[in-house]
Structure 1
Amino acid sequence: MVLQVGAKALKKRRDELKVSAESVEAHSKDDAATAGLLLFYAAECGLKERILFRRGLRDTAGLEPTHDLRRLAKDLGLPPAMHSALNRLGSCRLHSPAGASIALADLHQAWHYGAKLDGDSEREAKAALRALITWCERD
């Protein structure tokens, strides 16, 4: 069963998750994964809230259940300036000799399960997530 959530709840949760991510980063420099996960879900909530608003939908019942931020952004028709943020998210790499890339739709899983990410790549991904959140706040 998929939980159905309204736009107001998504917007509130976006804001709560963003604040929580900032708090984690301020108080625990060694916990980049938790901050990244919170930012990912804040961006997801923000994008879904904007889709509901633009489509005039009451809740997420009319949306396909997904964590794919690229798909959500495509549904919104983000402006060209936001495409660079999405491109940065698509190039997040694991911290390993091979440095395998992580698909944007799977980035939350990497943070969720504690996969070690390349430091620069992780910083870029978090900056991109913040850019998406800011866009949602201003849209």
Structure 2
Amino acid sequence: MIDLPQKALKRRAGELAKAAGEVTNENSRALLLFYAAECGLKAIYMARNVLRTTSSSHSARAATYFVHRLDELIVELKIPASTIAPRPASCVFAGKAVPVGELNQVWRYGGTLEDQPAVLKWLEILVAYVKKELS
């Protein structure tokens, strides 16, 4: 796994959020929002826990531990649901529930969730929160 400084994740979160606003393909936009949220949440986590790089750890786990599990990062950061809106109750693709940490796979391969608009709205709110926290 690549080891990156907190500053790089913070920068990349902004770049990905900006790119998400410029694409018209819904799956591409969803994927960019997902990764913007992931980079931003990890940057916040690293700042709060004084971790210099993604693989750094001490009393806190390394940011790499969370992989793509946005929901676990949200819990770890103690972000109230009222601040970012609760994630949609179900993320379903082809009749099967998809864990939040695997949503990127659905969009990476061109799939569409059954309730994709609600998931996109949640990611938009999450990215807005990340931008505010990192500014």
Fold conserved between structures, TM > 0.5: yes
- State how far apart, in whole Å, the 2-side matches of 1:19 and 1:131 are: 14
Q: Distance in 1 between matches of 2:112 and 2:80?
A: 31
Matches within 5 A, 1:37-116: 37-62=31-56, 63=62, 64-82=65-83, 84-86=85-87, 88=88, 90-94=89-93, 96=94, 99-116=95-112
Q: How many pairs are equivalent?
A: 126
RMSD between aligned residues: 1.6
Structure 1: gaps spanning 5 or more residues: none
Query: Which consecutive aligned stretches of 4+ in structure 1 deviate over 6 angstroms post-superposition?
Result: none
Contact (CA 8 Å) 2:84, 2:129: kept in 1 or not? no
Following TM superposition, by how much is the alpha carbon of 1:35 offset from its aligned partner in structure 2, in angstroms? 0.6
Q: Where is the helix percentage greater, Structure 1 or Structure 2? A: 1
* Percent identical residues: 33
Deviations along 1:37-71, one digit per CA (max 9) or x if unpaired, are: 00000000010000000001111013215100011
CA offset at residue 131 of structure 1? 1.2
Question: Contact 2:46–2:54 at 8 Å: present in 1 too?
Answer: yes
2-side partners of 1:9 and 1:116: how far apart?
Answer: 30
Work out whether residues 34 and 111 of structure 1, in 8 Å CA contact, stay in contact via their aligned partners in 2.
Answer: yes
Whether 1:34 and 2:28 are equivalent positions in the alignment is yes
2:17 is matched by which residue type in structure 1?
Answer: K
1:81-110, Cα deviation, whole Å (9 max, x unpaired): 146333x1x51222x5xx332211111110
TM-score (norm 2): 0.85
